[in-house]
Every structure is written in C-alpha cells, then in structure tokens.
Amino acid sequence: MRELTIKDAINEALHQAMEADPDVILMGEDIAGGGGRDEHPGAMDAWGGPFGVTQGLATRFGRDRVMDTTIAEAGFFGAAVGAAMTGLRPVVELMYVDFAGVAYDQLLNQAAKVRYMFGGKQRVPMVVRTVVGAGFRAGAEHSQTLYSLFTHVPGLKTVAPSSAADAKGLLLTAIQDDDPVVFFEHKRLYMTKEHVPEEAVPIPFGKAKIVRAGKDLTIVAIQRAVQFAQEAAEALAVLGIDVEIIDPRTYSPLDESAILTSVAKTGHVLIVDESYPRCGLATDIAALIADQGFDSLKGPVKRLTAPHTPVPFSPPLEDAYLPLAPKIVAAARALLRA
Amino acid sequence: MITDSPRFEPFSPDPHAVISESGEWIAPFDLDLDDDTLRGMYRNLVLARLIDERLVRLQRLGKTSFVAPGAGHEGAQVGIAHAIEIGRDWLYPYYRDTGLVAAIGWPLEKLFGQMLATRADPARGRQMPAHPGSRALNVFTVASPIASHVPPAVGTALSQKIAGKGDVTVCTFGDGATSEGDWHAGVNFAGAQGAPIVFACENNRYAISVDLNHQTGSGGIAAKAHAYGMPGYLVDGMDVLACYYVMREVVANAREGLGPALVEMAVYRYGPHSSADDDSRYRPAEEVAAWRLRDPIARLRRFLERRSLWGDEAEEGLRSEIAGELDEAVAAAEAAGPQDVDTLFEDVFAELPAHLERQRERYRLARRAAGEDG
Ligand SMILES: Cc1ncc(C[n+]2csc(CCOP(=O)(O)OP(=O)(O)O)c2C)c(N)n1
C-alpha cells in the first residue's frame, strides 16, 4: 500500500479537487513561485510555498488558477470572498497563521457573516489553508496555533488533521463545502506518513476519530498532541493504564457525542493542546464535558496545554513550553493516582 | 554646475548616484566627509558582509535556525546608519537589516546572542533569529508580520513631533512590504500628519520568489510617495554615499518639520531569501552575477583607492581585525549559556500575574520530578 506524507496528501487533494472542478482556484504568496518569469526555466512552478505543499499545481493548471498574490493578505482574502460569492471556490494560503491579524477582518466580518447578513441567499465557499505550530525554533510570531481565534467565530468551520489520510479527505470536504473553512496544517506534522487512498474520498466534518481505544482514561488530543498522546499511551500501557485517544479533527463542527461517549466509558479525561490555555480549545472541550458529561466523571476534567505565554525562540524554553509525552504521562498518572 | 550643498530631486527617472561604478565622484556638489568618516563607512560595509557570512555558517552548523542574508544590501543599510543620530532618533528595521543594526554599533556579542538565543541576548531568547532590537539604541524589535512595524513607526514619529525636539524616525522594509495594508495605512497617516519620518525601502526586486512586476503595477516604489503627498527619491542602493547623502537630506528635512519622505534604494540580495529558500529556482544565475559586479563594497573601495585612502594592506588588516572581533563575539555569545527556563513566564506583563506564578511553580515541580535541574 502506498504511503504519503501529510504534505503530499494535501498536494494530491488540491490536484484532484482542481481536476474535478474548474471553479477551484488557488491564491497565496509564493504558492507557484517565480510568477511571470517564464524566461527562467523552472520559474513557472518554482517554489510551492515555504514547505513546498503547492508544488506542481501552477504547471498543471496554469497561473490563472494558481495565483502568486502580492503580499497583502487582507487583499487576497477579501478577493477570495468576492470570487467565492460569484462562482469560484478559492483556496487561499496564509503562509503562517501568525499573520492572520493583517487579514482577519475579511474572515471575521465578511467570509463568516455574508451568508447570515444576506438572509441565507448568498454562499461563500472558500478555504483558508494555513500553517500552525511550535517546535520549529521560529519564535513568538511564527509558532502559534490560534485555532480558537477562528473556532470562536460563528460562520467559520475549522479543521486540523493530524494524519495524512485525514488531511486529504478533510481538505476535499473543505473545498466542496459551501461555507468558509479554515484548514490548519501543522508544520511539524508535514512529513508524517501513512497509507492514503488514491481516490478522492471526502471525510465528513464533525466526526471525531478514535485513534486508540482504551478503557481507563480518555485523552482528547488537538492536532500534533495526537502524536504526543500516542507516545504517552505506550508508556502508560506499560504501567497498566489503558488510554483511549480521541482526535476531534474538526473543531467547528465539533463531534461532542464522540467525546462524551468516550468519557462515559472511561470516567477520566485529559485534554491536550499546545495552544494558549485561556479561551482555547482545551478549555472549550473541558467546559463541554463538565456541562454535559458530569455524571460519568470519576475525577476532575484535566487540561494540559502550553503555559499562557507567547512561544519563545530559545530551544530549551520552547522544549519546556510544549505538552510533550512525559508531561502527558505525569498528568495521566496524577489524574488516576497511579 | 557645482552647488555648495547637496540637494536631490524627488521622482527622478534615474537613480541618484554620487560615485560611478569605477569609483569617481560624479555629484554636482563637493564631498564634505572627512577621511575617517569615509573609512568608517567602508569598515561598516565590510563588517556587515562578514557578519552575514558568519551567520550563514552558524546556521549551517545548526547553531541557529534561521538567517535572512543581507549581502548586496550593505550600501543602503550603511548609508542609513550614518545618516541618523544613534540613540536619539528611532529606527524601525526589518529582518534583513542585521548589517544596519551592526553599523549603528549594536554590540556584536548581543547580535550573536540574539541569533543563538543565549543569555547574551538582551531580548532573552524570545525573538526568532534575524529579529534584532535594542531598547538602548532606540531600535524597534523586528516584527515578523511584514509591514506591521510601519504604523508603529509613524506613531513614534508623531510622538517625536509632539515632543518638538527635532528627533526623527527611520523605518525600513523591502519592496514586497509596500503591498500590505499596514504599509499604506502608515505612510498615508504620516503624510496627513506631516510626521517626522523617513520610509526607506531596500528594493531588491524580489519578495521571496515573486518579482517586483508582479508585486505592484507602479513600476517602482518611489512613485507611490506622490499619492501620499511626500517626496519620493530613487537612489542607487549600491552606492553607499548616494544612500547616505539622500538620507541625510530627508532626515534633516524631517528634523526641521518639513514632513516625511520615501526613499527607494535599488539593491539586490545576492543570496537566497532565507536559509529556507533556494533562489536558483526562480532567478537566473546571470542576473545575480550581473548585480554582484556592481557590489557596493568594491565600489566604495575604488573610490577610496583613487584618493589613496585604501589599499591591499589596509584591506587585509581590516578583514582580519573584523574576523577576530567576530570570533570573540560568537565565543562570548555562546559562553553566556542558554536562557533559564524560568524566564519563560516573565515579561508577558509588567508584573508576574498570579496565574503565571502558579504555572511557573507547576513547571518547576514537574522539572524536579523529571530529574531535570535542581
Ligand atoms: C504578513 C506577512 N505575510 C507574509 C509573510 C511571509 N514573508 C516573509 S518575508 C516575505 C517577502 C518579503 O519581501 P520584501 O518585502 O520585498 O523584502 P525582502 O525579503 O525581499 O528583503 C514574505 C512574503 C510575512 N512574514 N508576513
């Protein structure tokens, strides 16, 4: 069975979506690379973004459909809204989620609200692909996740795959969706591999994945934390603790019942997220469980997140910052008094 | 016509230059810099180049994670550095300006401390590499989001205007940055308010892989000044003296209350966009080679040699002196050691709030339990 990295799975999803639907276009900085310099061999499709995710698409589909934009996120996000309203399905790339600030109004007040403010008579089928995550030695303004900034906004859907097959299937769904979707790609997961079906099979939103089944403790893990939780689960298994890992995969919509069902089974829950804790996803999910799963709890709802500080560049500080497996093991043991 | 003081025309079709490629003085005014100043400028050009080479080496050795090479930009950066009053004026640089902050005298140990995130870094290991800043020298800490430092620079200039002491702000950026909304918002506000600020564009014709003609329909950057009601100057950025003289004029104008200006310096980046880039995939090698022939260091050297102010011996002496300084600075920056993990929680607010104190305590206990420090 062929295996693909997350990076290649996303690239394949984009190829297949553009092949299947001529209305799908891509916009972003350097997504083709070398725009306009046909005289330079290879310039047509030189770069494919800082991680090479969009490589090959400009060559295949031409620069009208794979546009290198000016450095003006507000400009091309807003342009995507207008284009999405009039028949296209733009997929725009925000090079790092940290730069969301300069484009945010177009998402917050246009993309997310046009359908509502039009009385349901106008759709905005656009996707924002963006890169998130710490652990890249890139400091405070290139390492954030910011899932909650988008999940907080009614009218936006948010998706954060932690595996290659999910990345492909969820991106296909995002592109077909008639509402704006923010699709988070974790820079430290791009090279993780698994079997990915060759066909274009969309994966529905709002369906969590049970990454590992277990009976003693539920770990709800957010994107890269799935990897940390898997490592921790191995170590905890040796201690006789049987962990169930839930990856919600989409945060808006959120598969509440999968989380509550798992908690009902294990009675203990730890939510792991590398994001800031205040008003973050871990906090949101903890509130859900406290609110609707209280009767099945045999202990407190626990969150393990980054501290509530910006992401530092200094390597020892950044390592201390992340909720790596040893911290999950310690938190799980404390929770189960084991 | 020889005029007694330099005055440059805004919106000239050709870039202003004061020394020719072969090192002759070609300006219609007399040079008014003494020999030591000229040699000082030359030293700063070489210093910037050698720092750049050293940083690339450190990155390849895995000692730092990111470098934004500045080779080819030195003429613009050193010209700016010599045109401001260091520690009085404010500087808002961008990530390619390591040579600029070195030229204003930011101690090299700090510069390398920043790149390596050791205790020698006055910013305490918080900023990604190539993002210098100095409170002591009035240098804003470099912002990663392109052009987001432009409006704050205007705010600093407004504050200087209100203070009325004749201090000014200089804000630098690349050509690509002029596409951002923040850039336009800031420059327009400065124009409307007559803020004492100089916007200095280091135009290297590329924003990562995207060339200037796909970044803007205006052909150049200086022309944009028209719309904001300020003079725009096009300068040969490979001519450090031209950069210096134009900057000196617009800085003096801003000081006197004549308002802002935009200066476009035509430079070229010899290397990749950053350590994560491969520029050979989008730029013809011949183009790079042609620009390298116009090197700002070689050009000033020819000028100095014509005046018998420089020669091989001086060159050799200077390079080995700087190499020694760099060795020392890197060693000192490394010897300072890594940042203490406890500092992670500081400086989020002026005082450590209770929630961060609790988190810090939990981290300490966890580290102790895991057998790490103490
Ligand atoms: C808001 C924002 N968008 C995108 C980026 C990614 N990015 C970093 S540097 C760069 C190119 C900037 O080019 P230019 O302003 O011409 O300066 P140069 O690097 O050429 O010196 C881009 C797009 C960013 N840092 N911030």
pLDDT tens-digit map of B227-260: 999 999 999 999 999 999 999 999 999 999 999 9
Binary contact (A68, B366; C-beta < 8 A): no
Interface of A with B in 122-161 (CB under 8 A): 136-142
Q: Quickly tell me which residue has 């995710």 as its tokens.
A: A53
Per CATH, the number for A3-195 is 3.40.50.970
Average pLDDT (B106-111) is 98
CATH number of the domain at B279, please.
3.40.50.970
**Co-location of B155 and B208 in the same domain:** yes
Question: Looking at residue B297, what is its pLDDT?
Answer: 98
Backbone phi, psi, residue A91, to 5°: -115, 110
| Same domain for B350 and B255 | no
pLDDT of residue B67: 95
- Same domain (yes/no): B279, B347: no
- CA–CA distances in Å: residue A29 to residues A9, A34, B285, B344: 21, 10, 23, 33
* DSSP classification of residue B338: B
Checking if the pLDDT of B2 tops 70, the result is no
Q: Is B217 on the interface with A (CB under 8 A)?
A: no
- Whether the per-residue pLDDT at B221 is higher than 80: the answer is yes
Q: Evaluate whether residue B23 is within a structural domain.
A: no
- Please check whether residue A204 touches B, CB under 8 A: no
If you measure from the C-alpha of residue B227 to the centroid of ligand 1, how many angstroms do you get, rounded to a whole number? 23
Report how many domains make up chain B. Answer: 2
Q: Give the domain ranges of chain A.
A: 3-195, 209-336
Residues of A in contact with B215 (CB under 8 A): 70-71
Using the Cβ of A273 and the Cβ atoms of chain B, whether some distance falls under 8 Å is answered with no
B310 with B349, same domain? no
Check if A98 contacts B (Cβ < 8 Å): yes
DSSP state of B155: H
Query: 3-class SS at B94?
Result: coil
Average pLDDT across chain B, whole number: 95
Closest by Cα among A319, A144, A281, A308 to B145: A144
> Is residue B184 located within the same domain as residue B49?
yes
Q: Are residues B267 and B353 in the same domain?
A: no
Which pLDDT does position B366 carry in this prediction?
A: 84
Q: Is A43 on the interface with B (CB under 8 A)?
A: yes
B61 and B157 in a common domain? yes
Query: Which residue among A30, A326, A330 sits closest to B209, beta carbon to beta carbon?
Result: A30
Say if B13 falls within a structural domain: no
The answer to whether the CB atoms of A321 and B344 lie below 8 A apart is yes
Do B171 and B206 reside in the same domain of the chain?
yes
What per-residue confidence (pLDDT) applies to B276? 85
B371 and B300 both lie in a single domain: no
For domain A209-336, give its CATH number from 3.20.10.10, 3.40.50.300, 2.70.70.10, 3.40.50.920: 3.40.50.920
- Asked, for residue B28, whether it belongs to a domain, the answer is no
> Is B180 in Cβ contact with A29 (below 8 Å)?
no
Q: Which residues of B38-66 are buried (b: 16+ CB within 10 A; e: fewer)?
A: bbebbebbbbbbbbbebbbebbeeebbbb
- The whole-number pLDDT of residue A42 equals 59
For tokens 């004029």, the residue is B249
Question: Residues B125, B222: one domain?
Answer: yes
Query: Is B15 inside any structural domain?
Result: no
Name the pTM for this structure: 0.96
pLDDT at A165: 98
Q: How many residues can be counted in chain B?
A: 374
Q: Is residue B167 domain-shared with residue B238, that is, in the same domain?
A: yes
Confirm whether A3-195 and A209-336 share one CATH topology.
yes
Per the structure block, which two tokens stand in for B72? 């080819």
A322 neighbourhood in chain B, CB within 8 Å: none
Query: What does the alpha-carbon distance between residue B369 and residue B374 come to, in Å, rounded to a whole number?
Result: 10
Q: Are residues B201 and B57 in the same domain?
A: yes
Q: Which residues contact B208 (CB under 8 A, 6 or more apart)?
A: A29, A30, A33, A47, B176, B273, B277
Q: Which tens digit of pLDDT belongs to each residue from B271-299? A: 999 988 888 888 889 999 999 999 999 99
Spatial neighbors of A232 by CB under 8 A, at least 6 apart, are A219, A243, A325, A326, A328, A329, A332
What range does the domain containing B75 cover?
A: 35-339
Which pLDDT does position A43 carry in this prediction? 64
Average pLDDT over residues B325-345: 96
Distance to chain A for B19, nearest Cα, Å: 32
Distance between first and last Cα of chain B: 75
pLDDT at B374 over 50: no
Asked whether residue B116 is domain-assigned, the answer is yes
- Ligand 1 centroid, distance to B246 Cα (angstroms): 26
Residue A338 has a pLDDT of: 83
B117/A315 Cβ within 8 A: yes
| End-to-end Cα spacing for chain A | 40
**Which residues face A282 on adjacent strands?**
none
Show residues of chain B in contact with A36, CB under 8 Å.
Answer: 211, 213-214
Buried b (16+ CB within 10 A) or exposed e, B219-254: ebbbebbeebebbbbbbbbbbbbbbbbbbbbbbebb
Q: Which residue reads 């580290």 in tokens?
A: B367
Per-position pLDDT tens, chain A of length 338: 899 999 999 999 999 999 999 999 999 999 988 655 666 665 667 678 889 999 999 989 998 999 999 999 999 999 999 999 999 999 999 999 999 999 999 999 999 999 999 999 999 999 999 999 999 999 999 999 999 999 999 999 999 999 999 999 999 999 999 999 999 999 999 999 999 999 999 999 999 999 999 999 999 999 999 999 999 999 999 999 999 999 999 999 999 999 999 999 999 999 999 999 999 999 999 999 999 999 999 999 999 999 999 999 999 999 999 999 999 999 999 999 98
Please check the confidence at residue B148 and state whether its pLDDT lies above 50: yes
Look at residue B129 and tell me if it is in a domain: yes
